[in-house]
A and B are shown apart, each in its own frame.
Chain A
Amino acid sequence: MASQERITVHNLADLKNTSDDAIPNYLNSLKFKQVHTLVDTRLALGYSAFLIAGACFLWDYKLGFEETKYYTAAAVALYTVLNGILTFWIGFVEKGTVYQGTAPDGSKISVSTSTKKNVPIYNVKVTVTPKKGEPQTIELARSFTEWFDAQGHFIALPFQTMLATTVPLVGKADPKRAAVATPDFMNTDSEVLDALLAAQPTGADSTDADAGAGKKSKRRKA
């Protein structure tokens, strides 16, 4: 399932963005229901600020500075406030959240990711809130080399396996991935991986995999 698109492996932003995009793809494919509140709020804040600036430009352009300067002053103040809230929202509310959603069993899941400058490590923080009970936080830090090959192809299998084996909620929704013993992907090329993926256990033996998943998913990798 190596995607056709290639990224520059030396570009940390590319690595992170591609991986970030893969998380909603994967979780939504497992019948998780994504919640977009965070990004929608950000877009609403940002675009209202932009509209104010646009309106300010228009009346300044049409009517001149002197006639409109009190409106302009108000617009500048409002723009500053909205931008301040936006900065606060991105920095203290979103905090790198790339996915929020509800699992098929009703538990809530929130995934945030981060990287440190010039360190090719993907830090993932998963918070799972069961329907009843305390929120549980799982943190992992993995090298991007685990799911990008030397040519810069993103390889879904090891990436999804990482999430399925470390997060019990994901493992429960995707027992196939959770049961996979991680082979040495570093020296395998994408064709082989695609073949591996095609050869994944199908519905017939999924009961076995389920049993294995229970044990495997307890294991945490730091």
Chain B
Amino acid sequence: MLSSLQNPRQAAAQLLNFALILSTAFMMWKGLSVIADSPSPIVVVLSGSMEPAFQRGDLLFLWNRNLLAETSVGEVVVYNVRGKDIPIVHRVVRKFGEGDAARLLTKGDNNAADDTELYARGQDYLARRDIIGSVVGYVPFVGYVTIMLSEHPWLKTVMLGIMGLLVVLQRE
């Protein structure tokens, strides 16, 4: 590893391998974003408000294009509350109007009341542009790792430690 630093081309080539792994992962994510027209085409369910449809930790795939039909009552959508950056997965229960002017009301299947309480102050309904996608597929439970990591920060330390140990042991 150190000896390769003497040769700038070789060092550049090794650095490039690493850089391309990172950038390819990023561009695949962006490609998926572009195809689904959603800033975040894959999300993890963080709460139990959609049980029994979705549990915490389920991985959801989103689609944000209205190619054949408009987003309508019954669809499970992910939306961002204005001013907050936490995506919420709930079902559309009411819809007034059409197209961009449509007003949508959402509710969690497992919640007693609809989402008006959750919306930003002064906001009584969602517009289509607040929605970042409708759920079109899911993988149960695999997203639980991210919940564990964010709820128990010490796990991050443990994981970094294990990765560091592996690097040391593998010598490369």
Residues in A lying within 8 Å of B, measured CB to CB:
5, 21, 36, 39-40, 42-43, 46-47, 49-50, 53-54, 56-57, 60, 64-66, 69, 72-73, 75-76, 79-80, 83
Contact = CB atoms under 8 A, between A and B. Distances in A.
Nearest to B129: A66
Contact of A72 (B9, B10, B20, B33): B33
B66 interface: no
A53 B27 contact: yes
Given A46-B16, A65-B33, A69-B37, A79 B27 contact: yes
B23 A43 contact: no
B155 interface: no
Interface of B: 3, 9-10, 12-13, 16, 19-20, 23-24, 26-27, 30-31, 33-34, 37-39
Nearest to B19: A50
Dominant SS among interface residues on chain A: helix
Contact of A53 (B10, B12, B26): B26
B9 A76 contact: no
Given A39-B13, A43-B13, A64-B39, A49 B34 contact: no
B33 A5 contact: no
A69 B39 CA distance: 9
A76 B27 contact: yes
B12 to A, nearest CB: 5
Contacts of A39: 9, 13
Contacts of A36: 9
A3 B23 CA distance: 36
Contacts of B9: 36, 39-40, 43
23 contacts: A21-B10, A40-B9, A42-B16, A43-B9, A43-B13, A43-B16, A46-B19, A46-B20, A47-B16, A47-B19, A49-B20, A50-B16, A50-B19, A53-B23, A53-B24, A53-B26, A56-B26, A64-B39, A65-B38, A69-B37, A73-B34, A75-B30, A83-B24
A65 B32 CA distance: 12
Closest 6 pairs between A and B when the two form their complex, measured CB to CB: A53-B23, A65-B39, A46-B16, A73-B34, A76-B31, A50-B19
Contact of B34 (A21, A53, A54, A72): A72
